[in-house]
Amino acid sequence: MIPKYSQDTRKVFSLAIPAALKSLVDILQSLIDMLMVGMLSFYALAAVGVSMQFMMIVNVLMTLYVVGGNALISRFIGSNRKKRASSLLYALLIISVILSIFVSFLGYFGSEYFYSILGAEDEVIELGSAYFKILSLGIVVIFIDALLFNALSASGDTKSSLYIKLVSAGINAFLNYVLIFGHFGFVAMGIEGAAIATLIAYAFNVSVYFLILKKTTAKINILPIIRFVDLKRALKVGWGAALDRGISSMSFVFFVAIIAWYGTVELAGYQVGLRIEGIAFMPGFGFAIAAMALVGQNLGAKNKEKAYHMGVISGRIAYIFMGSIGLFMILFPEYIVGVFTNDRATVLVASQYLILVGLAQVPLAIMFVYSSALRGAGATKTTLKINVLSLWFFRIIPSYIAYKLGYGIISIFIIMNVETLFKGIIYWYIYQKRDWLNTKV
């Protein structure tokens, strides 16, 4: 007989590994997009890069229905109420479509204005507007994709999303090659071709998700019944997460602005280091998804002890993985950075960044997993307070003071990692208290 602890660990791995790999494929797809668009011109590359900043704002709206839906769907699945989970998914699907129409309208008619207020050059505005207008017309598939991925994850299925993403990433890369540069008899469409390729890839995702959800054997289906009580509960949980993401996104803009004050080299070094660190995020992201789903499911099954236990297991495995990657960043920073740039000044700054964030990978893993566990329990107001207060009082304000006092860029990196440490400790303390297990959703 397999020990219970071993079974729980396997369950965590079965959810976490596919989710982490899916996120890695997301990053690789984004890099391939940027690489192909960059072959057109510097302006095209800048236009797509700026559009990603707009999508960060759009993600705030998606968080509204995704996180609350995730918390409630996982509870319904855990309590064997598949019909309730399926009807909630249907209601959230309608909400996602309504929100996407609003974003499509703003994106299509306001794209030029959005680029111009950021001070972009005329060529970037022209290319970016053309790209984002096409993206805006199909934003509905991006909204639905986010909802269905998270719904399947909440139900305990992350493997399907990985397989879908692997195929769609290949489709996206092929269509980029065909539509951007005009191969196989197609007219070269440039940056507009990249936007079309992206939307077709998302449309493929959504189509396959619907096919999976139509199966009676699926862990969750789409049941055309709207229970307004459940929808209200999901949105009540979701608004805290959306507000959290919105404020955090704006806060990071302030933080990056402080780094930009130091100069172009410092900003470039930070950006390179951040992108490398993003690879280390993948295990943490996967185990965060696992913690969110398993905590919610066990709370739905009225098993608070196991809900707590699953978060602990997810956290332990996450900080072993991320701590190991952090050690690699500490020992070989220049070799890693050298893959992305050979500018000596940028390599120096990015290497300093990697050494320091390498030291902070364990508390970062704790923060990832435990914050997701709290969201899975529906305690989004708690995570909102912790994240906003920590960002401003432990990171942004001290960084501003350090800059004004004339301290170098390394002081900003130190402050950033001290804030991560404090936040990790706070989440550990909140998690250990177990009050969040009694959250009503």
> pTM here?
0.87
262: in domain: yes
CA distance 422 to 419: 5
Which of 16-30, 122-136, 198-212, 239-253 tops mean pLDDT?
A: 198-212
State yes or no: pLDDT of 159 exceeds 60: yes
The single-letter DSSP state of residue 436 is G
State yes or no: pLDDT of 127 exceeds 90: no
Same domain, 174 and 40: yes
Same domain, 206 and 242: no
Count, residues in the chain: 441
316: in domain: yes
* End-to-end Cα separation, the chain, in angstroms: 36
pLDDT of residue 2: 39
Task: Name the nearest CA neighbour of 324 among 291, 289, 279, 369.
Answer: 279
3-state secondary structure 169-236: HHHHHHHHHHHHHCCCCCCCCCHHHHHHHHHHHHHHHHHHHHHHHHCCCCCCCCCCCCCHHHHHHHHH
State yes or no: pLDDT of 3 exceeds 60: no
CA distance 175 to 193: 8
pLDDT of residue 371: 93
Expressed as residue numbers, the domain containing 302 is 238-441
Number of domains in the chain: 2
Same domain, 214 and 249: no
- Can you tell me the mean pLDDT for 143-148? 94
Q: How confident is the model at residue 120 (pLDDT cuts 50, 70, 90)?
A: low
Domain boundary among 226, 250, 265: 226
State yes or no: pLDDT of 355 exceeds 70: yes
Q: How confident is the model at residue 411 (pLDDT cuts 50, 70, 90)?
A: very high
Same domain, 220 and 285: no
Same domain, 433 and 293: yes
Same domain, 409 and 289: yes
Instruction: Specify the DSSP element, H or E, that contains 440.
Output: none
Q: Which of 111-115, 189-193, 407-411, 434-438 is least confident?
A: 111-115
pLDDT of residue 119: 65
State yes or no: pLDDT of 5 exceeds 70: no
Higher-confidence residue: 6 or 235? 235
State yes or no: pLDDT of 107 exceeds 60: yes
State yes or no: pLDDT of 91 exceeds 50: yes
- In single-letter form, the type of residue at position 289 comes to I
Long-range CB contact pairs, 111-116, < 8 A, 24+: 111/136, 114/54, 115/47, 115/50
